[in-house]
Amino acid sequence: MNPSDVKATLSFSDGSPSMDLPIFKGSVGPDVIDIRKLYGQTGKFTYDPGFLSTASCNSKITYIDGDKGELLYRGYPIEQLAVGCDYLETCYLLLKGELPNVSQKEEFTKLVTNHTMVNEQMQFFLRGFRRDAHPMAIMTGLVGGMSAFYHDSTDINNPEHREIAAIRLIGKMPTLVAMAYKYSVGQPFIYPKNDLSYAGNFMRMMFATPCEEYVPNDVLVRAMDRIFILHADHEQNASTSTVRLCGSSGTNPFAAIAAGVACLWGPAHGGANEAALTMLEDVQKMGGVEKIGEFIKQVKDKNSNVKLMGFGHRVYKNYDPRAKLMRETCHEVLSALGQNNDPILKLAMALEKIALEDEYFVSRKLYPNVDFYSGIVQRAMGIPVSLFTAIFALARTVGWIAQLNEMISDPEYKIGRPRQLFNGAAARTVRPINER
């Protein structure tokens, strides 16, 4: 790490000895104050629930500038990757730190493609779920369940195991998500086909049936691939931090990624795309564009507990660059499908316009995030709302793996074990039950 020549000095008004804390600079972004020796020297903890001012790790993978609305994967702006690369190139970049050349891409694609089938036993595991189970409940089970099938890649401290587990997870997530979907609609599972692209294979496993072939539409395949790219990684968000903390105990990679799936499901995080579309459909039922004013009033009323789903972000205090790209994809897909007049898209655009001009949202720097438009695109593509977050998990798997591997490969890493500010009962004596 790059030490700054500036130090932080901590002094106490009660005359306790002050303490110098080193500061480290990143290649870009905020410096950090190194507090690793704070408790040892002062007997005090820092307090930062929600980690608004805490850097949990030293990473080289993804950088976000929330004020500029900038997102870089290994230094490359998301806008360039979304246009100039495909998802598997982005996976290679996130995992290895550089974009692949032609032969590296061919080899990586072949490796992933040859790991898209899942063990036949997994379908019996899947069949144990209710048909109306939420796909994220199924995915949490299936991904964790992979550690019951792939015993030769469960040792997280073995680089070869990590490599194989990464390829298996990236290769098999589309198959598992498509199986969860087919199971929910009572259709037979469709096996992957090795002559299709990653996104094309996923679309075919989703929509083909044994009765008729499904030829993926290039515009929809490209749109799905872009959705994967936009969701691939995002610094130390809640699910990535969950994967790092879970993996820090040395558990197997499948269990750590399953923890990420479980965390992503929440409506404040990856579940927001499902919640955002449900919100738009509810406003549409209320009366659509004419009723936006009434809905916005509810959002501003703290007692209503209604949030504008798909808006706001812990880091972005400007427009989420992914939302801009997702909105473009929205228009491309809807015009390709002849759905330019989709009332839900019109409603979303009207809602966005009002929110971007309304003092309540402007003062709180609430802009659309990646989840605001992604649901509209997926709905237009025939993806059921309940599957949106599972697709987010599919795409984010490579980011979780890259972040987990970065942590495990850091010789300084330790098991994560935060402390607390305790305000409970001090020590007291248990009295016999007849005296309580």
Pick 246 or 309: Cβ nearer ligand SDX: 309
Residues facing residue 9 across a β-bridge: 20
Amino acid at position 396, single letter: R
Of the residues 69, 312, 321, 375, which one makes contact with ligand SDX according to CB under 6 A: 312
Q: How many CB atoms lie within 10 A of CB 284?
A: 16
Q: Is the dihedral of CA 320, 259, 113, 375 positive or negative?
A: negative
Q: Confirm whether 269 is a catalytic residue.
A: no
* Tokens, residue 206: 């989703």
Pick 22 or 416: Cβ nearer ligand SDX: 416
Stretch that binds ligand SDX, among 3-11, 80-88, 307-315, 323-331 (CB under 6 A): 307-315
Residues 4-63 interacting with ligand SDX (rule: CB under 6 A): none
Q: Confirm whether 48 is a catalytic residue.
A: no
Pick 126 or 276: Cβ nearer ligand SDX: 276
Of the residues 94, 180, 309, 390, which one makes contact with ligand SDX according to CB under 6 A: 309
Pick 216 or 375: Cβ nearer ligand SDX: 375
Q: State which residue has the least CB distance to ligand SDX.
A: 312
Length of the chain: 436
Question: Is residue 431 classed exposed, middle or buried when 0-12, 13-18 and 19+ CB atoms within 10 A define those classes?
Answer: exposed
Minimum Å gap between C-beta 256 and ligand SDX is 16
Of the residues 105, 291, 314, 317, which one makes contact with ligand SDX according to CB under 6 A: 314
Closest CA to 402 of 241, 166, 218: 166
Pick 55 or 315: Cβ nearer ligand SDX: 315
Concatenate the DSSP letters of all residues of 347-358 into one string.
HHHHHHHHHHH-
Q: Determine contact, residues 367/356, Cβ cutoff 8 Å.
A: yes
Percentage helix, strand, coil for the chain under 3-state DSSP, each rounded to 5:
55, 5, 40
Residues 270-299 interacting with ligand SDX (rule: CB under 6 A): 270, 272, 299
Minimum Å gap between C-beta 259 and ligand SDX is 15
Specify the pairing of strand 2-10 against strand 19-25: antiparallel
Q: Which residue out of 313, 331, 342, 410 is catalytically annotated?
A: 313
Q: Determine contact, residues 17/9, Cβ cutoff 8 Å.
A: no
Residues 209-248 interacting with ligand SDX (rule: CB under 6 A): 234, 237
Of the residues 283, 308, 344, 402, which one makes contact with ligand SDX according to CB under 6 A: 308
Pick 197 or 236: Cβ nearer ligand SDX: 236
Pick 147 or 242: Cβ nearer ligand SDX: 242
Closest CA to 149 of 130, 134, 137, 164: 164
Question: Is residue 384 classed exposed, middle or buried when 0-12, 13-18 and 19+ CB atoms within 10 A define those classes?
Answer: middle
Pick 135 or 321: Cβ nearer ligand SDX: 321
Minimum Å gap between C-beta 64 and ligand SDX is 7
Minimum Å gap between C-beta 71 and ligand SDX is 9
Closest CA to 76 of 57, 96, 92, 93: 93
The three-state secondary structure class of 268 is coil
| Total site size for ligand SDX, rule CB under 6 A | 21
- Is position 307 an interface residue for ligand SDX (rule: CB under 6 A)? yes
Residues 341-380 interacting with ligand SDX (rule: CB under 6 A): 364, 366, 369-371
The three-state secondary structure class of 2 is strand
* Tokens, residue 72: 């870089």
Residues facing residue 64 across a β-bridge: 71
Q: How far apart are CA 344 and CA 185, in angstroms?
A: 24
Residues 244-273 interacting with ligand SDX (rule: CB under 6 A): 268-270, 272
Of the residues 150, 202, 207, 311, which one makes contact with ligand SDX according to CB under 6 A: 311
Residues 140-179 interacting with ligand SDX (rule: CB under 6 A): none
Would you name the residues annotated as active-site residues? 313, 371
Residues that bind ligand SDX (CB under 6 A): 234, 237, 268-270, 272, 299, 307-315, 364, 366, 369-371
